[in-house]
Structure 1
Amino acid sequence: MATPTIRRGFVDVPGGQVHYRTAGEQTGIPLILMHPSPGSGLMLKPLLQAMGAKRWTIALDTRGNGDSSPLSGTPEIADFANATWQAIDALGIEECCLLGTHTGASIATEASIQQPARVRRLIIDNMGLWDSTQRQNHIDHNSPTIKPDMMGSQFNWAWHYCRDQYLFAPWYQRKEANRRHIDMPEPEVLHEFVVEVLKALETYNMSYSAAARFAKRDRLPLVSVNTMVSSSERDPLKRYLDELHSLVPGSVKAIVGDLETVDGALAAAEIYEAFISR
């Protein structure tokens, strides 16, 4: 099957605009993709194309990430979930499937709790079920507030910040015990990642910090829609997959490919589509 064309657009929502990428024929029940922090929907381009070959698929830029307008104040995951529904409404979509990964998984989870009647299927791809110490470390260190300066130090910071996401987990604990031992992405992919972070330099941290504060273990048992939990073998959050599975009532569990690589996304799309369409 030919690789579908990705098209981009904006929708007006309260407080600004949401940017999105879409692929596939605009018929049937669409799949909404919610990306990991700190990038944008561009990070899920391989999955967008792989799923777009099977169904109408839309990758949103989370509010305050990529090209989407930020939310005001100090938003929590419930606010990002509500903002997701505002974007879905603006797109004229009544019923959909939701797929979120990492930070996007928290947003998709809360969105499914807010409006379960509108969610045909939910896919939660990796979620960090941290203890209180890990949670506080993420709040304190994972997404620092960065502002441009006259020396342009933000450019050097962003490159190393994005690069280190592939080297360590978490990125700020640069120790051998935290090495990921995976291949680095192609320079072009890393460049795109850095550019997306720079676009939202002063607001990228909002969703990241909200995900760290999100009471995941309390909220996951409230999910009432048909749910799959997934992870690739190489994802550092795979260690939480079994617990994640146990917390979501009636969920099914799957090992999938890496969603940010072409081959991994194609493999994952086969598993996801079988779950969505069954």
Structure 2
Amino acid sequence: MMKIKRAFLDTEDGQIHYRIGGEGEPLVLLHQQPRSSDEYKELMSILAQKRQVIAMDFLGFGDSDKPPRMYSIEDYAKNVIELLDKLNIEKASILGNHTGSFVAGEVALTYSERLNKLILCNFPNFGEQGKKKLLEIYSKGYKIQEDGSHLIARWLARYNYVGTPELNHRWVLDDLKCFGYPMYAVYAVANYCLNFKARLSLIQCPTLLLWGLEDVKQFENLGLAKAEDRLIATQLIPNTEVVELEQGNICMMNQMFEEVAEVVINFLDKQDLRKDTIYSVKS
């Protein structure tokens, strides 16, 4: 098993915790909220056998500091570049899941000269209604209850689909690190999502859209985004390929890490893309 180390990056807004391992072409992994780099614990062990892999905790999440102000997607993208600078990495590929996909896309736009390939996982097409629903569900953040009832509430929140008590425990630990603070990334996504369509068309690097179809259903069930709208990015980004994992849900980076690793490695090693082709992977 490839050894993954931990370290911290000092920034003007606080320390950023990150994990790093492997050698070769670098790949940065950006997590969803309210998770952390722990989302990629299993995936990193596989990918680090072929390349250098870095996963960071966004400020406000995991073991990174809480930022002194509300952060934006542009701020988080800047943090990614700060980390690459510290590690003396001139160019990297980036994979982002959910919230991380917005940040990854912004890096591809604003710092295009630093990017090789882009992987957007479960990248939602939020409209105005989706933005309102996003804030309605998540903007209140997690509140500490005097009787400790918030602990069992978080345990039960997603237990039916996380799969194992051990994985659920890891998710709950990430939840608890967010208690008593704003959900920084929710506001960042909400303020950014209505402009992303125009910005997507400016992305020029080879791009993979990786979808978990169970996750797509959950987006729709929550009223966040319509399932049929998920592929709009293929119409906007010039050099795009799509892979769909039929049983992939919000936990797929942990539950289906071998399948995800195979898709990611194939895409990163590929010299050309077959645009507008959808590969559906049964598991």
TM class by smaller structure: 0.7 to 0.9
TM-score scaled to structure 2, two decimals?
Answer: 0.82
Which whole-Å CA distance do the structure 2 matches of 1:71 and 1:221 have between them? 31
Structure 2 residue aligned with 1:175: none
Structure 2 residue aligned with 1:21: 19
Query: Please, which of 226, 239, 254 is the counterpart of residue 206 of structure 2?
Result: 226
Which whole-Å CA distance do the structure 2 matches of 1:55 and 1:239 have between them? 34
Which whole-Å deviations, capped at 9, do the CAs of 1:91-123 have from their partners, x for residues lacking one? 232211100010000010001111101101111
Letter matched to residue 254 of structure 2: T
Query: Please, which of 102, 106, 109 is the counterpart of residue 105 of structure 2?
Result: 109
Structure 2 residue aligned with 1:12: 10
Q: 1:15 to 1:268 in 2, by over 3 A?
A: same
The answer to whether 1:276 aligns with 2:232 is: no
Q: SS at the partner of 1:222?
A: coil
Contact kept? 2:135, 2:190, Cα under 8 Å: yes
Q: Equivalences for 1:1-278 in 2 at 5 Å? A: 3-25=1-23, 28-161=24-157, 163=158, 183-203=161-181, 205-214=183-192, 215-236=195-216, 239-256=228-245, 258=248, 259-261=252-254, 264-278=256-270
Which whole-Å CA distance do the structure 2 matches of 1:261 and 1:195 have between them? 15
Q: 1:204 to 1:229 in 2, by over 3 A?
A: farther
Q: 1:204 to 1:272 in 2, by over 3 A?
A: farther
Q: How many residues of Structure 1 are paired with residues of Structure 2 in the alignment? A: 255
Gaps of 5+ in 1: 168-182
Contact kept? 2:140, 2:183, Cα under 8 Å: yes
Q: Which has the higher contact order (CA 8 A, sep 6+)?
A: 1
Contact kept? 2:123, 2:209, Cα under 8 Å: no
Contact kept? 2:140, 2:182, Cα under 8 Å: no
Displacement of 1:204: 6.1
Q: SS at the partner of 1:54?
A: coil
RMSD: 2.1
TM-score scaled to structure 1, two decimals?
Answer: 0.83
Q: 1:204 to 1:10 in 2, by over 3 A?
A: farther
Which whole-Å deviations, capped at 9, do the CAs of 1:17-76 have from their partners, x for residues lacking one? 111122323xx3210000111111101222222212221111111111101123232221
Displacement of 1:147: 4.0
Counting aligned pairs with the same residue, the percent is 28
Q: 1:235 to 1:50 in 2, by over 3 A?
A: farther
